[in-house]
Chains A and B, each alone.
Chain A
């Protein structure tokens, strides 16, 4: 008890020590996988054989390296998908408090969607969706 009291006081005076749990979590997060993998390594039986060591034990044998050049179109499609993704992320909270934001919220959302649609339309016109 005697040891504890000054420690607690210390924690209260300097709010920076409020971040202490995050440091503790950091250590725990590093410790946990190390522990689990380490114990597993010690306990499990080890009988390596050729098919077991291949990347996909059950499935098609890999024929090429994964580090290949991909067509840039994949990335464009991914970015276009982002437009709709971001849109949804913002539409949900807006829909939840739609009645509180009223007309103002509706107009703001229309502007936001308008800007996204402009970007999408631009990409469309520029042929980002044509796969040839």
Chain B
């Protein structure tokens, strides 16, 4: 079976996650309700998958399974980001599962199956694999969004997510079909080769239409304006730990696929070619999406009174920043940004989830009044994560934005950098507003302290260490990413 390129090592992380997911699901069927056992098993599976991913680090750019799966630094790094996001989500969900009396086994299994889809999306070197992986992600996350069955908001969130997700999947699939019509292949490497030469008039039209459809589909998945409308409603209605998950890991995976298809397969080559014709259009479209996401996301976030909605608009704004990196075609900068964003956003949501209590009752920003000095173990980390999201120097958020803007400036997008910096200033307003409410407003009535679980403390420690390590000593991670980027560039040549 050598001819099929079957190489189980190349899908090691996915295999480990799948097996763990099935095991957790079966254990839930055998003896339900054992949260600690299922949670530890799921976390162990994720760690093991991380080890399997790290083992691929030295492999360099190679493909497997009839060139459908690719192994390179890009894939390994994004896989690690996704696994970190999933692991932190398990920690964040720990208290929530008890409060809501949710069967834990299924919840963990769905998280793992979602993670399988995400890691596969990152590893995909073929549009069919990308589509399959996206469907795996979305089916798991639809169920997670509606996990509080009796809650009307949660059900609404799941339904909206499902309808718009299915709608955007249709766009993606149609786009894939048109691209296949234009290039007669779904393999991305092969497609890159075909579009590096000239194509017939009809093929160019198909190529443009297909790429536009893909852009719409990906735009939905990574929540960029004007395809963002579902985001605040879904993020608000879904249980908070699930929102934390939705806003980080699937987004990192979505951006990885976005990069793989647009930045690496259809790059502007600077020579007479189909790719160049296409690139002039997609660069313009993505520029518009980026500017719109940054401005709309940040300005609408100011008007929010619900912290989950505020963070949803903030995530739209951050998607706008990341699109600058997609335009600059600097995947390492995007990967670093997604790592940082995953850490700080999950940290934020961990506290929001804890403070919201059973049934997501306490989610208004005004209800954070007086949290500051009454429970400093909640308020100080939240302040740090918000400040990091705003991009203050000393935190990881600053370094990530700096790298992104620097590479965009070098790649010839100064106007985007200027807008990005201005919008960052706007975002400071609504991030710091929460901090002000926490520390300088008195609550209307005295609120009892919230007990902290060990899993929550673990999540806090990981996230805080991450924010400061990447904010103060990012050089090691930079070096690792730059090496991977150089290897990939050589492999493509």
A interface, CB within 8 angstroms of B: 13-17, 19, 104, 115, 118, 121-122, 125-126
Contact = CB atoms under 8 A, between A and B. Distances in A.
A118 B26 CA distance: 7
A121 B29 CA distance: 8
A30 B151 CA distance: 46
Interface residues of B, number: 13
A16 B203 contact: yes
B29 A115 contact: no
B22 interface: yes
Nearest to A123: B29
A126 B29 contact: yes
B206 A125 contact: no
16 contacts: A14-B201, A15-B200, A16-B203, A16-B206, A17-B202, A19-B181, A104-B1, A115-B22, A118-B22, A118-B26, A122-B25, A122-B26, A122-B28, A125-B29, A125-B30, A126-B29
B204 to A, nearest CB: 10
Contacts of A104: 1
B118 to A, nearest CB: 19
Contacts of B206: 16
Contacts of B30: 125
A16 B1 CA distance: 35
A16 B202 contact: yes
Most B C-beta atoms less than 10 A away, residue of A13, A17, A118: A118
Contacts of A115: 22
Nearest to A101: B1
Given A122-B28, A122-B29, 5 more contacts: A14-B200, A14-B201, A16-B200, A122-B25, A125-B30
Contacts of A118: 22, 25-26
A14 B202 contact: yes
A-B complex: 10 closest residue pairs judged by Cβ atoms:
A16-B202, A125-B29, A122-B29, A14-B200, A104-B1, A14-B202, A118-B22, A122-B25, A118-B26, A126-B29
Contacts of B28: 122
Contacts, number: 26
Interface of B: 1, 22, 25-26, 28-30, 181, 200-203, 206
Nearest to A126: B29
A125 B27 CA distance: 11
Contacts of A16: 181, 200, 202-203, 206
A35 B203 CA distance: 35
A118 to B, nearest CB: 6
Contacts of A13: 200
B122 to A, nearest CB: 22
A17 B203 CA distance: 11
Contacts of A15: 200
Most B C-beta atoms less than 10 A away, residue of A16, A104, A125: A16
A31 B83 CA distance: 54
Nearest to B22: A118
Nearest to A114: B22
A17 B200 CA distance: 12
Contacts of B181: 16, 19
A38 to B, nearest CB: 32
A82 to B, nearest CB: 14
A51 to B, nearest CB: 42
A126 B31 CA distance: 11
